[in-house]
Amino acid sequence: GTVTIVAHRSEMGCGSRTALPLIVADELDADWSQVKIDQAIGDPKYGDQDTDGSHSVRSNFDLMRQVGATGRVMLISVAATRWKVSPKECTTEPHFVVHRATGRKLGYGELAAEAAKLPIPKKEDVPLPLKKRSEWRYIGKENGHLFDLPEIVTGQAIFGMDATMPGMVFASIEHPPVLGQKIKSYDDKAALKVPGVQKTLTIDLFKPPHQFQPLGGVAVIADNTWAAFKGRKSLKVEWDNSPHATYNSAPFRKTLEDISRQPCKVVRNVGDVDAAFVKGGKIIEAEYYTPHLAHVSMEPPVAVAEYRDGKVLAWAPTQNPQAVQETIAGVLGIKKEDVTCHVTLLGGGFGRKSKPDQVAEAAVLSKQLGKPVKVVWSREDDIRFDFFHSVAAMYMKAAIGPDGKPTAWLQRTVYPPIGSTFDVAAKYADDEMGLGWNNLPFDIPNHRAENGPAYFHVRIGWLRSVANIYHAFAIHSFADELAHNAKKDSVQYLLDLIGPPRIVALEYKEEEADEKQRYPLDTARLRRVVEIAADKSGWGKKPMGKGRGLGIAAHRSFLTYVATVVEVEVDSKGQVHIPNVWTAVDAGTIISPDNIRNQFEGAASFGTSLALFSEITATNGAIDQSNFNDFQITRMNRAPKHVEVHIVESEQPPAGVGEPGVPPIAPAICNAVFAATGKRIRELPLSKTELI
């Protein structure tokens, strides 16, 4: 009677591994207490397995409903045949097929073996009786917790660090400090004297483009992680030069800012911005800057792999087991189907664990050794050799009309693109332009968005909410600046900028046809979350007092509409504290309200980290930061004390949940700081600005 559902998405706290089976179980009319979830290995038969981009539910909601309904139809068919009645006379209740006229019941377990022999009905031949919303048992209900929660909180769950293989050894790798450096020479005599160290091996430098290949370096092989770490500290490695050794953060910032002040590649154009600026009137300009960021998920990169007879077996906390297959196959020159990747639970991911370079390292070393190898990265490795969130410089310019609203709005963004991971010549951002830049929802008659060229010097990757982070920071900080210039309330000014309820005309790529049809940019939904967040925060209804202020930002990302109000308190030392955060979210159809709240509460702390503290810099190509002492994240005493999440009830198609809570946090915090202190923040992290 147990229903086993294979989850083809990874679990890192986002809830996908529970949500998708929950949809199947609802349409199957299964008893959730009798459902078991198995994790899929990397395999093309499961379709796209990449748990990234906040699209797991959005991309699979309809399909999972069809899967569940198909199973229910097949079980009903067998029961009806046994009872010699029409399937139309039968219905289901959790885990049973029921013949209402006679009160007869048959459990799913009694019918499953026979049902499995039936041909699977195709929806074009047999209409699938999908449940009405009013009939849903699990979708949209307060389900309480993740499927894995009991095992997680009792220490029984298996994460990447827990995975083992018989006879495995441990490896810690000294990577080149600067991207692209090769080993010139190394001395391992001291390392080999460390108790538990067995030997050292080298990993060749990647071939450009770097993609998800290993960085190269010297690996210390040992009996345990401690010995591997100790031995590695005793290595003496001399590195060759790299063209990226000229990379220094301060001059690179100036380069980006200089580019942003000049005309760049147009990515969206509405009306005639230049003509509007020529007409004169008040012109307001502002520049914004955000640094590189590291993912620093709770569990640093780790994997165990065994190469044997031309095949690889791996266990990894990965967001994308198919990328593991492709990367290992490419590095070792074997077939993709000869790589098996088992997926453990992930101790956080944020996009870092969709890049499987550490899994490839384990496979490469295993081939050299002839035994399983477990590669463990330290926190220092994690921070220094990440796929970093890109540094960005943004230029904003507006012509202001008599009513205080912009008659023209120009915005430029310049940053090394994620495309550089896959193409060394990439200097313009394409996919990232849709992440909060070429889809401005404001009702401005003349608007132009531009993108400037920038080359990479470190590995660039996607991090939770990706380019929406810096784009939302610039756009919504600038909007607040314009509100104060007009001497208008920030909430009302934001609503005026958004304008009347309408569908915003955007350009869509051919592959975005579904998005264009099912997920148009609807300003009515954006206005609604602004109104809710403002109302719940008591905006304008209570005195703030000295050093206190409210700030608001509203942003649509991953097809979800989010507005956030933040209350800040700036103390006598200039430290920013956050007593309250109010967030309103319209993510369409909701699978698990409790998980929505989890994600947006987490986003408040995540967004606070990048707003207040986090920054990655480089000197002569090497990353300056190493651990949480110099790459700070929000600790308990600085995290938002109280976070309210208000979910808009909606029958629209489900949209993203894991990432869209992050973008409004930083601009809302900075706008609140201005309200509290009168100091405008135009660069992150905020800790670089003196507030007293």
Structure tokens at 598: 């989890």
What SS3 state is found at 615? Answer: coil
Mean pLDDT of the chain: 96
Q: 452-491, pLDDT tens digit by residue?
A: 999 999 999 999 999 999 999 999 999 999 999 999 999 9
The answer to whether 312 and 339 have CB atoms below 8 angstroms apart is yes
Residue in 357, 298, 372 with CA at minimum distance from that of residue 323: 357
- Cα dist. 525→503, 600, 664 in Å? 10, 18, 16
Place of tokens 């190493």: 626
Q: With beta carbons less than 8 A apart as the criterion, state whether 414 and 491 touch.
A: no
Summarize the confidence of residues 378-407 as an average pLDDT: 98
Structure letter (DSSP) for residue 426? -
Nearest to 357 by CA among 404, 396, 318, 388: 318
Return all residues near 23 (Cβ < 8 A) that are at least 6 apart: 57, 60, 61, 64, 65, 68, 138, 139, 591
| Other CB atoms within 10 Å distance of the CB of residue 128 | 16
How far is it, in rounded angstroms, from Cα 336 to Cα 323?
10
What is residue 377's predicted lDDT score, i.e. its pLDDT?
A: 98
Cβ atoms 133, 650 nearer than 8 A = no
Q: How far apart are CA 321 and CA 474, in angstroms?
A: 35
HSE on the CB side for 482, CA within 13 Å?
Answer: 32
Q: Which amino acid is at 429?
A: A
**Local confidence band at 647 (pLDDT 50, 70, 90 cut-offs):** very high
DSSP 571: -
Q: What is the pLDDT of residues 424-447, one digit of tens each?
A: 999 999 889 999 999 999 999 999
Q: What is the largest CA-CA distance in the chain?
A: 83
Among residues 614, 611, 541, the alpha carbon closest in space to that of 578 is found at 611
Q: How confident is the model at residue 126 (pLDDT cuts 50, 70, 90)?
A: low
Closest alpha carbon to 566 in 546, 556, 554, 552: 552
CA neighbor of 377 nearest in space, from 494, 488, 225, 274: 225
Q: What is the mean pLDDT of residues 187-192?
A: 98
Is pLDDT above 80 for 66? yes
Could you tell me the two tokens for 602?
Answer: 């987490």
CA distance 317 to 17: 13
User: Confidence class of residue 547 from pLDDT cuts 50, 70 and 90?
Assistant: very high
> DSSP alpha helices (H): ranges in 29-140?
56-83, 108-115
d(C-alpha 24, C-alpha 138), whole Å: 10
Element (H, E) at 308: strand 302-308
Interval 362-386: pLDDT, tens: 999 999 999 999 999 999 999 999 9
Q: Within 13 Å, how many C-alpha atoms sit on residue 677's CB side? A: 23
- The span from the CA of 478 to the CA of 492, in Å, is 15
Q: Which of 602, 51, 58 shows the shortest CA–CA distance to 356?
A: 51
Torsion of CA 601, 602, 608, 609, to 10 degrees: 170
pLDDT at 329: 98
Please state the rounded mean pLDDT for residues 319-327: 98
Alpha-carbon gap, residue 624 to 631, rounded angstroms: 9
**Cα–Cα–Cα angle for 245, 249, 252, nearest 5°?**
90
Q: How confident is the model at residue 511 (pLDDT cuts 50, 70, 90)?
A: confident
Beta bridge partners of 289: 393, 683
The pair of structure tokens assigned to 59 is 């991309």
**266: number of Cβ within 10 Å:** 13
- For residue 511, give the 3-state DSSP assignment: helix
Q: What is the mean pLDDT of residues 318-322?
A: 98
For residue 21, the number of C-alpha atoms closer than 13 Å in the C-beta half-sphere is 27
> What pLDDT score does 503 carry?
98
Query: What's the sign of the alpha-carbon dihedral 455, 461, 462, 463?
Result: negative
Identify the band that residue 692 occupies on the pLDDT scale cut at 50, 70 and 90.
confident
Gap between the Cα atoms of 186 and 231, Å rounded: 13
Given a contact cutoff of 8 angstroms between Cβ atoms, the answer to whether 408 and 398 are in contact is yes
Amino acid at 134: S
Three-state secondary structure call for residue 90: strand
